[in-house]
Structure 1
Amino acid sequence: MGDIKNQLRKDLTTAMKQRDDFAKSTIRMALAAIQYAEVAGDEAHDLSEAEEIKVLTKEQHSRTESAETYAAAGRPELAEKEAAEAEFLGRYLPKQLSEAELTAIVDAQMAATEAELGAKPTMRQMGSIVKAVNEKVAGQADGKTVATLVKARINIG
Structure 2
Amino acid sequence: MSVPHPGGDPNANLYAQPKRDVLDRVPQITAVEYVPDDIEAKQLRAVFDPARLDPPTGPNSPELVVAWYRQEPNDWFRVNYTDPNTGFHAGWHQDEDHPDLGRAHFQYTADDEADRWGVAFEHETPSLILWEIVEELLEDVRPTYQDSNDER
- TM-score normalised by the shorter chain: which range applies? under 0.3
Length-normalised TM-score, structure 1: 0.25
Higher RCO (CA-CA < 8 Å; seq separation 6+): 1
Question: Which has the larger strand fraction?
Answer: 2
